[in-house]
A and B are shown apart, each in its own frame.
Chain A
Amino acid sequence: MILGQVVGTVWATRKNPNLERLKLAIVRPHFWYNPPHDVDHLVAVDQVGAERGQDVLVCVGQPGRWMAGTSAAPIEASIMAIVDRVVMGPSTEDGTP
């Protein structure tokens, strides 16, 4: 999953029918995650009712389509969890964050 923060919302009426009634959030990733496209933000379907400013976990691929009920839904990324707390250890000797 991708750890990120909800920073915005997108409204669209002309869209694939399998996206009806789904909330689309703009997510700023907290880390680089080797995205399939070299883009520094994400649009994800919000499956758990995350609010702007909350840290979330974004899941890529089939799980989001399962949540939407059909593999025919063009959903590449979905918010699957709202993060309460992140604890990071001391950065190790090889400079990992």
Chain B
Amino acid sequence: MMLGRVIGEVWATKRAGAFGHRKAMLVATLAREGDRLFPTGEVVVALDDIGAQQGNVVTVSWGSGARAVFAPPDNRHVLVDAAISRIVDAITLDESGRVLNLQHEEG
């Protein structure tokens, strides 16, 4: 699983496999140093089933982990390799419990 930030949205009508009504979001994966998040340069497309918005910090699950977000992992009609699994509200930064709050800028 990786931390990422939603930076865009992808519309694809002609597609194989059951995306269903779900949106495909463009996600830039993030690394963290101390209390700062910064982009790794990696940008992927992850299917979103939980309503992530532009600017949200999220967790991205890969491969069979991504398919597990939608249905039993060996479910063969969910044809994805990345999915948003959590919208992150805050990150505890250290043992003292300092927290990095993440406001979700709306789109």
B59 at the interface (CB under 8 A from A): no
User: Beyond A3-B43, A96-B28, is A66–B38 a contact (Cβ under 8 Å)?
Assistant: no
With A57-B10, A59-B81, A89-B55 as contacts: A80 and B43 at CB distance below 8 Å = no
Q: Which chain A residues have a beta carbon within 8 Å of chain B's beta carbons?
A: 1-3, 30-34, 47-48, 57, 59-63, 66-67, 80-89, 91-92, 94-97
Q: Are A92 and B43 in contact (CB under 8 A)?
A: no
Residues of B within 8 A of A82 (CB): 12-15
Could you say which residues of chain A place their CB within 8 Å of the CB of B13? Answer: 82, 84
Chain B residues packing against A (C-beta within 8 Å): 5-17, 19, 24, 26, 28-29, 36-47, 54-55, 63-64, 76, 78-82, 105, 107
Report the separation of the CA atoms of residues A79 and B79 in the bound assembly, to the nearest whole angstrom. 11
Contact, CB under 8 Å: A95 / B39:
yes
Distance from A28 Cβ to chain B, minimum over Cβ atoms (Å): 14
Assuming the contacts A1-B24, A63-B80, A89-B54, asked whether A81 and B16 have C-beta atoms less than 8 A apart, the reply is: yes
